[in-house]
Amino acid sequence: MQTLTPPHPTDRGRHIGLPLQGLFINLRRFGIVAILALAASKSFAQPQFDDFLGGFDSLLGWGWSVPRNAPLDTREETRVNFTRDALVITAQAGTLYQGNNNIRNLPSLTVPALRGAWSIETRVRLQRNGLSPAYLQAGLIFFQDANHYFNLHLVYLPDQNNRLSVSGGHEWNGVYQWAGLNGVVWNPSEGDTVRLLIRYEPDTGRVRFFYDREDGVFWREMTGSPRFLSDFPSLQAVATQGGQIGLYVDTAGGSGTPAPVATFDYLQILSDYHPADVNQDGIVDDADLLQVLFAFGTRRCNLPADVNQDGIVDDTDLLEVLFAFGAQ
């Protein structure tokens, strides 16, 4: 699927088309009723959430491109499929490590600068199968291109009899470094699935890293956490300037049959964007208004066009966008 292209900055704030101008005029007739409806609604961060129910959520704009990678379009259709409630990626030779830049099957979402106490979460299962010794890994990745990225992942450790742990790494200008983050080490027979969570604390400028082995302990904080966001320039760049947040599996040069398989249950991105910024491109504009109009009448949870998150896209959501027009 192709990533939706946000409006060009020079187009922001221009007059909207005549049909939408007429809509503004008609909605003014709501008067005090509209104002009361807005006053009664809640204001909160809009989530970007996909639980992969048979495919990607088409409203989120998933893409496969990784700048400076070869190939630029990383998708190999025969390696990507969906179950009823999960994204399944069969590993293919390739890695972003150092100058290799030949990762495959890396889906991602384009995000503007993250705001407030943002957090990113996913759940991943990683089956090693017939892979030869290698640091096989799968998890979250933040990037602007193949030479500037941060990853947090579930990883098989070839130097510890291919036991499992969680860890992270980052690369800036093509130079890779371990992130200084790790968790306990366990046998894959005890479970090959984790939830991964990254959470930023704006009051301290620190970012915290958690994992859940689903063994009844719930969230554990990784050793080496918390850290200053500035410790990881590539993560900081995406968080402060915008970029890509994606899901990946990296064979680290290993091979074998059958190939490893990574299964992702969901991706959730929480950031304090204006709740009326439906497409989360950093400004409330006609693009957001159109998304509400096209989804009008839809009943569904976690739908971005449902601005007040009451389970239905209706005139209240439309009014939220209209009264917030131009907000950033």
Do 287 and 7 contact (CB within 8 A), yes or no?
yes
Name the average pLDDT for the chain: 86
Give the predicted TM-score (pTM) of the model: 0.77
- Please state the rounded mean pLDDT for residues 259-287: 87
Decide if pLDDT at 79 tops 80. Answer: yes
Query: Which tops the pLDDT comparison, 209 or 273?
Result: 209
Cα–Cα distance for residue pair 252/275, rounded to 1 Å: 40
Q: What is the pLDDT of residue 156?
A: 97
Within the chain, what is the greatest distance between any pair of CA atoms?
Answer: 71
Segment 235-242 shows an average pLDDT of 96
Pull the structure tokens for residue 178: 């371990």
Residue 122 has pLDDT above 60, yes or no: yes
Contacts of 240 (CB under 8 A, 6+ apart): 113, 114
pLDDT of residue 16 exceeding 60 = no
The pLDDT value given to residue 132: 85
Q: What is the mean pLDDT of residues 74-84?
A: 96
Does the structure show a pLDDT above 90 at 261?
yes
| DSSP β-bridge partners for residue 27 | none
What residue ranges define each of the domains in the chain, with the CATH number in brackets?
15-44+297-323 (no CATH), 47-270 (2.60.120.200)
Q: Which residue has the higher pLDDT, 119 or 253?
A: 119
* pLDDT number for residue 17: 41
Written as one letter, the residue type at 317 is D
Per the rule left: phi > 0, alpha: psi between -120 and 50, beta: everything else, 224 is left
> pLDDT over 90 for what percent of the chain?
62
pLDDT at residue number 46: 61
Q: Is the pLDDT of residue 257 over 50?
A: yes
